[in-house]
């Protein structure tokens, strides 16, 4: 193993753990366990700090346009090399929830890639825009929320505005 692969693995682990802890915190809040929720939120924050430090050590914090290029390449690779085969395997195994989860990520990811491509084409032109994210499938839309999500079919009300 190389130092670069160690940093990538550590970054991925810290990032995943941070998200998992946020979900654990939300569950604890739903159960009325405020202290446990706060502990998970604090642990999540610490994991984010670790992830950022690993990212800096890898030298992956360039200019915003550099970051868009990196994000686009990763998003395209994710769609083609990761989600497509996973989706096929889930279909073969008849796991409907996994099929849905992979399909949501795959379809929403293609839209994100298009936003990244457009940003590169427009050279990061700053124009006023509002983004909304479907809280069911993760689809991002610009400026106007559709009546129904084109990926998962959820109602307009499930979209969250990003400030």
Which sequence spans correspond to the domains of the chain? 1-61, 63-123, 128-163
pLDDT of res. 112: 92
CATH homologous superfamily of domain 1-61? Ferritin, core subunit, four-helix bundle (1.20.1260.10)
CB 132 within 8 A of CB 162: yes
CA–CA dist 31, 103 (Å, integer): 30
pLDDT of res. 14: 94
pLDDT of res. 62: 75
Q: For helices 64-77 and 96-121, what crossing angle results, to 10°?
A: 150
Q: Divide the 163 residues of the chain into consecutive groups of 10 and give the mean pLDDT of each group.
A: 89 94 96 94 93 87 83 86 90 95 92 91 81 95 96 96 93
Q: Which residues pair with 134 in a beta bridge?
A: 159
| Domain covering 128-163 assigned CATH 3.40.109.10 in the classification | no
DSSP string, the chain: --HHHHHHHHHHHHHHHHHHHHHHHHHHHHTT-HHHHHHHHHHHHHHHHHHHHHHHHHT----HHHHHHHHHHHHHHIIIIIIHHHHHHHHHHT-HHHHHHHHHHHHHHHHHHHHHHHHHHTTT------EEEETTT--EEESS--SB-TTT--BGGGEEEE-
pLDDT of res. 124: 60
Q: Is residue 121 classed exposed, middle or buried when 0-12, 13-18 and 19+ CB atoms within 10 A define those classes? A: exposed
CB 15 within 8 A of CB 49: no
């Amino acid at each position: 193993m190389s130092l670069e692969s160690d940093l990538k693995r550590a970054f991925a682990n810290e990032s995943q753990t941070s998200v998992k802890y946020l979900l654990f915190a939300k569950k604890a809040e739903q159960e009325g366990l405020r202290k446990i929720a706060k502990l998970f939120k604090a642990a999540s924050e610490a994991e984010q700090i670790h992830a950022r430090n690993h990212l800096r050590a890898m030298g992956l914090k360039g200019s915003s346009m550099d970051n868009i290029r990196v994000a686009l390449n990763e998003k395209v690779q994710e769609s083609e090399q990761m989600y497509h085969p996973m989706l096929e395997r889930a279909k073969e195994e008849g796991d409907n929830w996994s099929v849905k989860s992979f399909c949501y990520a795959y379809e929403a990811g293609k839209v994100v890639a298009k936003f990244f491509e457009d940003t590169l084409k427009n050279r990061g032109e700053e124009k006023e825009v509002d983004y909304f994210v479907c809280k069911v499938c993760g689809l991002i839309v610009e400026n106007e929320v559709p009546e129904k999500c084109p990926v998962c079919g959820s109602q307009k009300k499930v979209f969250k505005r990003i400030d």
